[in-house]
Amino acid sequence: MAFQPGRRLEVLMLSWPADYSDAWTLSQSAARNGVGLHSGAQCRVRLGPAERDGFWVGRLQHPQQGLQRLEPALVTETRLCTALTLDSGPLATVEHLLAALAGCGITQAEIWVEGDEIPLLDGSALNWVEAIAEAGLAPLGARPPVALLTAPLTVQQGISFATALPAQRLSVAAAVEYPQAAIGRQVFSLELTPQRFVEEIAPARTFGFRDQVDQLRAAGLIQGGALDNALVCDGDRWLNPPLRFADEPVRHKLLDLLGDLALAGLPVAQVFAYRGSHGLHTALATALSVSNGPSASPAP
Ligand SMILES: [Zn+2]
């Protein structure tokens, strides 16, 4: 069952692109503030239209430094989030914002930030989807040609793996397995469209484990984590129910996967991640951007 957001968002959701075949940017700008998950500091983001393909980051306080295009090679840390090292400095926790932009069908946008982290907001991509809806989408015609895979591409880390198979459309699947009974084994797959992303994936929130929370806090991490921006699992129960979906954790894994893949642009492929992590997802994004070279055939 799809998560039912507030009426305001339902009204705004009426005109998402039908699929990912066209290029889109934002019509105008939209901004959000909030705390960063790891630093606990206030951060601000202003999204706006971009003239070139891709996602471009600039610093609100140093606009003269210009913009830098995001790509998987900028990833320098994937332990708890996807963190980049840009020419202008570090930028952590980019995955939910990038998932929202790419998932909604945006292929190019400017992301102006104040602070070294993208705000966590409610732990899902829903607030970013609202910001995108508020800004509106502007059509740019057909999406620039995307190289299609000619053979399966797999990356593996321990028992985890992610694979991209040749396909004519984007479909995504994830499977997770946790010893904690509240999560256990979950699988979720769908042929992705912007509408399905907004309804089925964007509302799924970050989750963590009670026994790790104290350790991470002591290590100076997750200073901005709270029971209102992350689901916390305690063995066979959740500390802060209700869940938005019975299988919210695996849907959040898909959200993270999409955000990490968006560093290279969403592929036209069938993608599956088994026990995914930011390290695994960004390795697949790197492999996809490398395969986007002369050996792959252009889309018709
Ligand atoms: Zn996440």
Question: Is 16:106 a contact under the CB 8 Å cutoff?
Answer: no
pTM summary value: 0.92
Residue 4 has pLDDT above 70, yes or no: no
- Residue pLDDT, tens place only, 43-65: 999 999 999 999 999 999 999 99
- Which residue is associated with the tokens 């050996």? 295
Q: What is the mean pLDDT of residues 249-255?
A: 98
pLDDT value at position 45?
Answer: 98
DSSP 199: I
pLDDT value of position 44:
97
Token pair listed for 145: 């040609």
Give me ligand 1 centre to Cα 42, in Å.
19
Asked whether the predicted pLDDT for residue 3 surpasses 60, the reply is no
Separation in Å, CA 6 to CA 3, 110, 241:
10, 27, 18
CA of 65 to the centre of ligand 1 (A): 29
Residues of the chain with pLDDT > 70, as a percent, come to 90
Distance 81 CA to ligand 1 centre (A): 7
Q: Residue 223 burial by CB count (10 A; 0-12/13-18/19+): exposed, middle or buried?
A: middle
Cα(83) to centroid(ligand 1), Å = 12
The pLDDT > 90 percentage for the chain reads 78
Q: Provide the pLDDT confidence category of residue 145 given band limits of 50, 70 and 90.
A: confident
3-class secondary-structure state, position 100? helix
Q: How far apart are the first and last CA of the chain?
A: 35
Q: In what order do the strands lie in the sheet with 83-86?
A: 75-77, 83-86, 89-91
- Band of residue 1 on the pLDDT scale cut at 50, 70, 90: very low
Across the chain, mean pLDDT equals 90
Based on the residue annotation, tell me whether 278 is a catalytic residue of this protein. yes
Catalytically annotated residue among 96, 252, 278, 281: 278
Q: What sign does the dihedral 267-47-224-248 (CA atoms) show?
A: negative
The DSSP result for 208-220, as a single string, is EEHHHHHHHHHTT
Task: Please identify every residue whose CB atom is under 5 Å from ligand 1, which is an ion.
Answer: 206, 256
Express each pLDDT in 5-14 by its tens digit.
Answer: 554 555 455 6
**Which segments within the chain are labelled E, that is strand?**
22-26, 30-35, 42-48, 54-59, 68-69, 75-77, 83-86, 89-91, 108-114, 137-142, 147-148, 153-157, 160-166, 171-177, 185-191, 207-209, 231-234, 237-238, 269-274, 297-298
In angstroms, what is the span from residue 165 Cα to ligand 1's centroid?
A: 24
- How many whole angstroms from 230 Cα to the centroid of ligand 1? 9
Give pLDDT tens digits for 265-292: 999 999 999 999 999 999 999 999 987 6
Report the SS3 class of residue 197. helix
Which residue, among 168, 128, 139, 173, has the nearest Cα to 273 in the 3D structure? 173
| 258 CA from centroid of ligand 1 (Å) | 10
β-strand partners of 30: 47
Query: Can you tell me the mean pLDDT for 171-182?
Result: 97
Measured N-to-C along each axis, helices 248-261 and 278-291 cross at an angle, to the nearest 10 degrees, of: 40
- CA separation for the pair 176, 88 (Å, rounded): 35
* Ligand 1 center from residue 96 Cα (angstroms): 6
pLDDT score, position 2: 52
Report pLDDT digits (tens) over 178-197.
999 999 999 999 999 999 99
- The two tokens of residue 146 are 């995307």
